[in-house]
Amino acid sequence: MTATAFKRLAAILLMGLLPMLAVAVDQPHALHLLGHSQLENPSLTLDETDWRWLRERRTLVMGVSAPDYAPFDLSNNNDELEGITADYAALVAQALNIIIEVRRYDTRDEVIEALKQGAVDFVGSANGYEAADPELELSRSYANDQPTLVTRIGDTQALSADLAGKRVAMLYHYMQPDAVQQFYPHAQLQLFASTFEAIGAVAFGRADAYLGDAISTRYLINKNHLNNVRVADFSGLEVNPFGFAFTKDNIRLRNIINAALAIVPVNQQMDILRRWSAGGSGFMEAERLRLSDSEQRWLEKHPRVKVAVLDKFVPLSFFNEQGQFEGLSAEVLARISLRTGLKFDVVKGSSLPRQIDEVNAGQADMLAVITPSVERAEKLRFTRPYLSNPYVLVVRAEDERLVTLEDLPGKRLAFIRSNSLGEQITRDYPGIEFIDSANPEAAMELVANGGADATVISLISARYMIARHYRDRLRMTSTVGTEPARITFGVNRSQLELYSILDKALLSITPEELDELTNHWRSEIIIEDSYWLRHRNAIIQGFSLAAVLLLITLCWAFYLRSLIRKRAQAERALSDQMRFMSVLIDGTPHPIYVRDRQGRLMACNNAYLDVFGFKLEDVIGKTVVETDTGNPPQAQSYHDDYLKLMARGEPQIHDRILRVPGGEVLTIYHWMLPYRDGDEKVVGMIAGWVDVSERHRLLGQLQEAKDDADAANRAKTTFLATMSHEIRTPMNAVIGMIELALKSAEQGRADRDALEVASVASRGMLELIGDILDIARIESGHLSLAQEPANLRELLASVVRVFEGLARAKGLALRVTLDPALDRPVLIDPLRFKQVVSNLLSNAIKFTSKGQVQLGAQGDVAEDQLRLRLWVQDTGMGISAQDQQRLFNPFSQGSNAEQSARSGSGLGLVISRSLCEMMGGQLHLSSVLGQGTRVDVSVALSLAAALPAPASAPAAHSPPTRALSILVVDDYPANRLLLARQLSFLGHRITTAEDGVQGLALWQAGHFDGVITDCNMPLKDGYTLARDIRTQEHERGLVPCLLLGFTANAQPEEAERCRQAGMDGCLFKPTGLEDLRSALAPRMASLCEPQAEPAFDLGALIMLTGDDHAALNELLMPLLDSLEADQRLLPSLRRQADFAQLHDLAHRAKGGARMVKAHALIACCETLEAVCERQDLQALGAAVEDVEQAIDDLHHSLSVYCNQP
């Protein structure tokens, strides 16, 4: 491969790498904000919403652009930003108590785009360039923008108003180029990337004028010691002052920043301006003078003024080696030009008297350097002085006798003819011989060469001349005269307007600025008048000729050596380039390859070969179709794409599938770029790819996660709709039945059926809430099992008894098959086991309209375990296969059930399966649509030694023999009233309190056997109240009272929390009479004697009738009649062994017994029902006798109760 072809290939490869490297270019560079100013006790008034917004933000981001815009934006090697903008940003950060981060972008357009995109909050150093953008708005200004024009010193061509034909250099983002070009249509505008380049173009002759703001211009001139440029004029362009730029919709932040900028005091603003002025603060404060109408008319009529200037009056006025006017007077005239717009034409002269005559005659308008005197005042008007400097006596360094003028009588004094001290010295020291000198330089030379003994000149001139030319030869000995030398301008007496303008301009120049000018010219310029200056042209020509001859002599000697060296360098460069290309191509981890116009492979890297397992000689010079890739259709597809790309000449970048040898399938980000020759013809292509298989896999997982989240969200929506129905349905029954009961009570009768329906509905709603809590506990892992010894057969029998009536009401046969092996104690959680069986039976009965429901259970005993197999099978409508897949998701139900729509929460099966898995078992559902459903449960249970002895049931219906004094504390009035009435019904004395503070006060004032407190209350909750009571009981030595919590949060951890607070237990809402009686039982056990259990309990009916004995008798009389009828019917049914009729009679008698809580009769009826279900003739007689005896006992007891007064 030739060197030319290799270079072309390298260029193509570099172009191909650009898309992969482009990401790294646009990242901004972080800088630290370095401010040099501090506010003293800043006081900023903002709305509370603004302060809260700032506290939430805590950090703001300011954007700046590269390169530095001195002195507004200056960066250092410590990655710090300082300057005028940084100082104001630091003051804003201090006033707002926030942090301001700085991000620097490569260009101004990038930082403006970042502002619009929200990557930065605001942009610093913004002026008219940003203000022209309709999407941006500037803050309150912190620096003025005075556009100025800078030219080279010595440029004799004056700037016209429209800069016609001038090359104008400008920073590309100082102002909008279109606006500048419109204002200067005949100028040639040149844009530069930085202010240094722009003003440098003027300094080195590549541009005629520089347009920029006054602050940065002065800084650049002073800081960079550009001695060959000067500020020529102000521009008439309309500009915006400097501020911070915001997007227009960011009104809040702009107002906040404006408020912070407004509290920066004026003296601190001036300090910042002086700090970054680089010695030119006065210049930046300069403004156009306000002239009178007559002065303005004169200025418009005389825009140019002739100035007579003395040469070699250093450093006041002189001409440098290029013949350009310089000196202190030149600087003062430049300041006046900026303030007034006057342009000065210099007229060079060497004799002051002659120049005075020229000004007086109107040949010149003014003198640049003159000291006032009475004689001169007849011809000139003198402006106010721009320099006051004492006269000094200068003598030779070795002459120690001459100290003052008093030592000069008889001596020669070199004296400048224009010096106004001549008459005074002549009068006071008549013996001095005067030798005339044309200027200070001539006078100093006379003294140094012995032509005079001393001279009198101004201090500034003496210092300058001695330091530059007469060091160790001349010295200053004393001041001369009582008045200093006052250097002024001299104006033609007829030019009153010019005099007034000059005087006003001098008055506008501050003393500080004049001092800066004086210090600047005290030792600024060195003027040489030497042999070199007089003969430099001849010297240069001689040396040039010698150099040419020497060059010709040496050229031939070094010619061959040069050729050899160049050839060696070319070979070395070629070798280096080849090594670089080898590293560049082979070192890239992603495959890269190059093909020619016919699709043949020209070059590739190792990564390309590794993917296919090829060697370079197997693929080089071949098309992809000619290469054995193991997938011809894919190879042909890629080859066709190559040819299409080169035919169209447009790049292609997209994702595609690549199958490589070995069967692996890759998803690649494939890019293909055409490359052209010198005639812009496509001669080949460069391509490569990045393996993005992992990215696609992650995107797939992300989509799956999103689908799952959407499904969960839909399930939640379905659950909420279901719960709304499930809660409203029983609530409708509760509210409606209670309303009917209230209306019946108003008519003097009790509606027991309505109350019983409301009770059943409310308990169903409570079970629903329990199911929801169970699901939440299962999903959170907080549900645990409480195992205890229990008999499986008895547990199953108790569940079956609950659902017998429901099945019978729907006309369904409930078939139960229980293995005798189950009649033994095992370790199990009875409550959760019955919950599982109840859910399965409930679903089977609910979704079966005809036929039967079967419950079966078998047990296999092996060693110390019982293997339980339980099934529930129905002849219902069945479940489709699609519904079975989602049936075990929370809140999901089968969609094909006719009567199931909105008839359940969809939680039963989920809870049942979760409980089975917690027990170490499994739950399996099988169903055929239209034929029925079967659910199988299998679980291994540990055998227990024996069941614990049954605890005697508390006498739920017997009133206490001693009433307790109980304090009820609850902030909700309805709960407080209900709990008080329940306890009163149980026969206790009640005191109530509205909150924990009142409750503690009542407890301290009286004696209570127990306290029942709500756990969550304002002021003082129940936990704190319990701890306070226990603390005081301990401190006062009191017997602890019964302390119970009362809460609606039915979580196990809530009970533990109550015990940790010192309570004896916890009651969960809703709480019934039995719950209260059980909770108070420990306290009652210590106060009450045991007594025989009565035959019935009329507490609920007494409460219902309001303790109305007559109404109560009306309720009991139908029950007595029903008991008598059942007692007469029992013998005949027993003789006929009519199990069905006996079962119905037992069920009917059990319902009446439950109304009066006759537990003996209830137990006998349940036994008879079980016998009838088994159709057990042997046990039938004993069961019927027990029922007859229980009915007789209850009938007798109720009759006695109804007949008592």
pLDDT tens digits, 267-291: 888 888 888 876 554 444 445 678 8
Q: Which tens digit of pLDDT belongs to each residue from 358-377? A: 888 889 999 998 888 777 88
pLDDT at 943: 87
Q: Say yes or no to pLDDT of 213 above 80.
A: yes
pLDDT at 18: 40
The more confident residue out of 750 and 486 is 486
pLDDT at 534: 45
Give mean pLDDT, residues 230-235.
Answer: 81
Q: Say yes or no to pLDDT of 1113 above 90.
A: no
Predicted TM-score (pTM) of this structure: 0.38
The more confident residue out of 475 and 527 is 475
| DSSP assignments along 151-208, one per residue | EETT--SPPPTT-TT-EEEEETTTS-HHHHHHHSTTSEEEEESSHHHHHHHHHTTS-S
CB-hemisphere CA count at 13 Å for 1054? 16
Angle, helices 251-262/48-57, rounded to nearest 10 degrees = 100
Q: Which tens digit of pLDDT belongs to each residue from 811-870? A: 888 888 888 888 888 888 887 888 888 888 888 888 888 889 999 999 888 878 889 999
Count other C-beta atoms under 10 Å from residue 322's C-beta.
9
Which is the CATH superfamily of the domain at 1-144+240-279? Periplasmic binding protein-like II (3.40.190.10)
Cα–Cα distances (Å) from 362 to 230, 491, 495, 650, 1075, in that order, read 29, 10, 10, 76, 124
Please tell me the distance from the alpha carbon of residue 168 to that of residue 185, in angstroms, as a whole number.
11
Out of 12-21, 230-239, 430-439, 1056-1065, which region has the weakest mean confidence (pLDDT)?
12-21
Close Cβ partners of 1002 (under 8 Å, ≥ 6 residues apart): 967, 991, 993
Q: Is the peptide bond before 954 cis (omega within 30 degrees of 0)?
A: no
Count other C-beta atoms under 10 Å from residue 668's C-beta.
20
CATH architecture of 965-1090: 3-Layer(aba) Sandwich (3.40)
Q: Which tens digit of pLDDT belongs to each residue from 949-1001? A: 544 434 334 444 467 889 999 988 878 888 888 888 888 889 999 999 999 98
Q: Which fold has domain 784-943?
A: Heat Shock Protein 90 (3.30.565)
Angle, helices 3-21/531-586, rounded to nearest 10 degrees = 80
Give mean pLDDT, residues 1159-1178.
Answer: 85
Please report, rounded to a whole number, the percentage of residues in the chain having pLDDT higher than 70: 82
Give mean pLDDT, residues 481-497.
Answer: 85
CATH code reported for the domain at 146-239: 3.40.190.10
Domain 1109-1203 belongs in CATH node 1.20.120: yes
Please tell me the distance from the alpha carbon of residue 848 to that of residue 841, in angstroms, as a whole number.
11
Please report, rounded to a whole number, the percentage of residues in the chain having pLDDT higher than 90: 21
Average pLDDT value over all residues in the chain = 81
| DSSP assignments along 52-63, one per residue | HHHHHH-EEEEE
Q: Which tens digit of pLDDT belongs to each residue from 882-901? A: 776 666 665 445 544 444 43
Give mean pLDDT, residues 198-222.
Answer: 87
The more confident residue out of 1123 and 350 is 1123
The more confident residue out of 1060 and 1007 is 1060
The more confident residue out of 622 and 527 is 622
Q: Which fold has domain 587-691?
A: Beta-Lactamase (3.30.450)
pLDDT at 581: 67
Q: Say yes or no to pLDDT of 306 above 80.
A: yes
Close Cβ partners of 1143 (under 8 Å, ≥ 6 residues apart): 1168, 1169, 1172, 1173
Q: Which tens digit of pLDDT belongs to each residue from 1084-1109? A: 766 554 444 556 777 666 666 666 66
pLDDT at 314: 78
Q: Which tens digit of pLDDT belongs to each residue from 9-41? A: 444 444 444 444 333 335 899 999 999 889 888
> For residue 806, what pLDDT band results from cuts at 50, 70 and 90?
confident
| DSSP assignments along 971-995, one per residue | SSHHHHHHHHHHHHHTT-EEEEESS
Q: Which tens digit of pLDDT belongs to each residue from 107-144? A: 999 999 999 999 999 999 999 999 999 999 999 999 98
Q: Say yes or no to pLDDT of 725 above 80.
A: no
Question: What is the residue type of 400?
Answer: E
Cα–Cα distances (Å) from 552 to 546, 549, 566, 746, in that order, read 10, 5, 20, 137
Q: Tokens at residue 777, please?
A: 């506990």
Give mean pLDDT, residues 773-800.
Answer: 72
Q: Say yes or no to pLDDT of 946 above 50.
A: yes
The pairing of strands 474-492 and 433-437 is unpaired
Give mean pLDDT, residues 626-633.
Answer: 83
Q: Say yes or no to pLDDT of 1052 above 50.
A: yes
Strand segments (E) across 313-386: 318-319, 325-326, 343-349, 366-370, 380-382
pLDDT at 964: 85
Give mean pLDDT, residues 771-796.
Answer: 70
Please tell me the distance from the alpha carbon of residue 424 to that of residue 443, in angstroms, as a whole number.
19
Give mean pLDDT, residues 701-718.
Answer: 76
Three-class SS state of 868: strand
> For residue 801, what pLDDT band results from cuts at 50, 70 and 90?
confident
